[in-house]
Amino acid sequence: MGYRSAAHKEGCPNRQLLTEPCLTHEVRAFIEANLSFLVKSQLEVAGLPLNRSLAVISEAQDRIDSVPGSKGNVFKEKLAQVMQKNQTLS
């Protein structure tokens, strides 16, 4: 959570955040190891069959649930909040 605000203080724009030198190697490695699947997932593909869309969400939940430590807990809590707002997906 603090990574984004720290990066913004150093002048990193949102779209280029992962390529900017203001991110520490540790943060970049954490994102690549635990969250890069989100970029490769099909979350924004138009016309995806409903069963595949639901499978993408389920896969994302499983991957986020496997993120270790306190940083992982932050992502798990945020996902739980999103899913709470979208109870029909649960």
Please state whether the predicted TM-score (pTM) of the whole model is above 0.75.
no
- The per-residue pLDDT for range 11-47, each reduced to its tens digit, is 455 555 556 666 678 887 888 888 888 877 776 778 8
- CA distance between the termini of the chain: 25
CA–CA gap between residue 50 and residue 69 (Å, rounded): 33
Q: Phi/psi of residue 42, each to 5°?
A: -105, 40
Give the C-alpha separation, 63 to 80, whole Å.
13
Residue 20: per-residue pLDDT: 61
Four-residue CA torsion sign, 5, 70, 44, 32: positive
